[in-house]
Amino acid sequence: MTTQAIQVRGLEKSYKELRVLRGVDFEVARGSIFALLGSNGAGKTTAVKILSTLLRADAGTARVNGFDVATQAAKVRESISLTGQFAAVDEILTGRENLVLVARLRHLKEPGGIADDLLRRFSLTDAGARKVSTYSGGMRRRLDIAMSLIGDPPVVFLDEPTTGLDPQARIEVWQAVRELADNGTTVLLTTQYLDEAEQLADRIAILHEGRIIVNGTLAELRKLLPPAKVEYVEKQPTLEDVFLTLVGGKGGDAGEPRVPAST
Amino acid sequence: MNRHFFGDTAVLLGRSLRHITRSADTIITTAVMPIAMLLLFVYVFGGAIDTGSVPYVNYLLPGILLITVASGIAYTAFRLFTDMQSGIFERFQSMPTARSSVLWAHVLTSLVANVISLVVVVLVALLMGFRSSAGVPAWLAVAGILILFTLALTWIAVIPGLTAKSVDGASAFSYPLIFLPFLSSAFVPTDTMPGPLRLFAEHQPVTSIVNAIRALFTGQPVGADIWAALAWCAGILVVAYFFAMNTYRRKIS
């Protein structure tokens, strides 16, 4: 077994004339969180689709959990789970039924027990018997991620997991992602939010016009710019601090209502 | 074939059957239009249509059953389209699940939903005075033809379900199929139609299927119609299956 959970070499993909990926290389270490950062249309989703066997690359190779995505697709599918850009949940089924469905399709024993356990972990127990169409955006996304964890796949792909979520739901998702990595799961997430990459990722790669233009830890990326200047500024609470304090945000570091110290 | 094919198909079939029971309106809507046509033609136009000694409701029912299926499969396309759009399709495809199970589950669901609608329409026809001298074997033969017809049309419905860009596009293909029985022996005998139309009406699939079912219901010899009906259904089934599977393979690779 290699130490790299994901290895990508010279990946290329075009849609007709449009060259979306123009030779992408990166590696993701086991148990780490890797963020693929880029603006809309940079090719993030295309890269994730190739890695999760939904698309074929035009050129280059990609290995996930040691298996080649082109020639060992079935093995790759057993090693991964994909949480797409839009919550891939069944609206008509209840939350619990969604989880049971995925557990059955992964051919696991005791799908009911697995579902109840995940409902608890993602604070969805009370909503478990309700149709997903009644869920809020944050609950939907949590269920979506819970569905991805069934069967404990060693590699998880999260394609823009917090796009369209309110700040509170975002923190909940971040917490879920951190817990995943703490338990040894490799996470590849794509995002267009810089702070999300900053908060979560062990390594960050910036995908721009179909190529990775930088790849490193946050500290390494910071060194690319001139050393920090020391400036004294009045620390105002950010709007996010205010919002989370007022609505009594739970989870993350917003657990207690904080009153920002005046300076 | 993947060793999980049957198990996975059963799980996914359970899922879409649950969709049907939770949105029973789709089955009711499917049955409402053919029932409305049945009422309209039997009580409004039927008196003016000469079908000899055969009561008009007996004459009309086979064609109405085909219209029931033609409008029912619009929902098959719709359900498949919704899965494609919602991302759950991609989730299934990225899992170690038998790949064609997703499609087969939709096809079998379509069969179940259409059979329910057909039973509802037949019950309404019985209330309206439909009577048949057919015995059990003839009823089974009718059921067999209708199931084959449903499968053939369902595989046609899979193609727009997979490729449509909008909800309207996914179900619009069914309109010509619903209209086709009007240009056949389903509503009126073809004898009164002008030359070219009559030629078309007598050689399109609906006429032979309708004639075969009608003969079975009345206990008449089915003659060559049943073979033409079976050949049409089987032919459409094979061609549609081939195209649908081809489209599906392109979608998932």
Same domain for A119 and A196: yes
What's the whole-number average pLDDT of chain B?
88
- Order across the sheet with A186-191: list the strands: A80-83, A155-159, A186-191, A33-37, A203-208, A211-216
Same domain for A129 and A259: no
Same domain for A161 and A255: no
* SS3 of A184-207: CCEEEEEECCHHHHHHHCCEEEEE
A70 in reach of chain B (CB within 8 A): no
For residue A92, give the nearest of B19, B93, B252 by CB distance: B19
Same domain for A262 and A164: no
Q: What is the pLDDT, as a whole number, of residue B20? A: 86
For residues A257 and A250, what is the distance between their CA atoms, to the nearest angstrom? Answer: 9
Q: What is the pLDDT, as a whole number, of residue A253? A: 47
Contacting residues of A for B97, CB less than 8 Å apart: 77, 105-106
**Total structural domains in chain A?**
2
Tokens of A253: 């570091």
pLDDT tens track for B144-158: 999 999 999 999 999
pLDDT tens track for A141-158: 889 988 988 988 999 999
Stronger pLDDT, A87 or A152, i.e. the higher one: A152
For residues A211 and A21, what is the distance between their CA atoms, to the nearest angstrom? Answer: 6
B20 in reach of chain A (CB within 8 A): no
| Chain A / chain B CB contacts < 8 angstroms | 65
Domain region containing A257: 234-263
Q: What is the pLDDT, as a whole number, of residue A2? A: 59
In whole angstroms, how large is the CA radius of gyration of chain A? Answer: 20
Looking at the DSSP bridge assignments, the partners of residue B76 are: none
Alpha-carbon distance A200 to nearest alpha carbon in chain B (angstroms): 24
Contacting residues of B for A54, CB less than 8 Å apart: 90, 93-94, 252
Q: Are B38 and B125 in contact (CB under 8 A)?
A: yes
What's the whole-number average pLDDT of chain A?
85
For residues B27 and B121, what is the distance between their CA atoms, to the nearest angstrom? Answer: 11
* Number of neighbours of residue B34 by Cβ within 10 angstroms: 27
Same domain for A259 and A156: no
For residues B103 and B246, what is the distance between their CA atoms, to the nearest angstrom? Answer: 12
Contacting residues of B for A93, CB less than 8 Å apart: 15, 18-19
For residues A140 and A165, what is the distance between their CA atoms, to the nearest angstrom? Answer: 10
Q: What is the pLDDT, as a whole number, of residue B184? A: 87
A53 in reach of chain B (CB within 8 A): yes
Same domain for A253 and A137: no
Whether pLDDT at A225 is above 80: no
Where are the alpha helices (H) located in B100-204, listed in sequence order? 101-127, 136-163, 167-172, 174-179, 195-203
Which band of pLDDT confidence, cut at 50, 70 and 90, is reported for residue B220?
Answer: confident
Whether pLDDT at A86 is above 80: no
Run of H or E including A122 = none
Contacts by A115-123, CB closer than 8 A, 24 or more apart:
A118/A146, A118/A149, A118/A150, A119/A95, A119/A146, A121/A146, A122/A146, A122/A176
Same domain for A210 and A238: no
Tokens of A214: 């930088």
Look at the pTM and tell me if it is higher than 0.90: no
What residue of A is the nearest CA neighbor of B9?
A: A105
Residues 6+ apart with CB under 8 A from A126: none
What residue of A is the nearest CA neighbor of B20?
A: A92
Same domain for A193 and A165: yes
Q: Say what the ipTM of the complex is.
A: 0.82
Same domain for A252 and A127: no
Same domain for A246 and A198: no
B18 in reach of chain A (CB within 8 A): yes
Same domain for A126 and A54: yes
Same domain for A224 and A238: no
For residues A68 and A75, what is the distance between their CA atoms, to the nearest angstrom? Answer: 8
What CATH number corresponds to the domain at position A131?
3.40.50.300
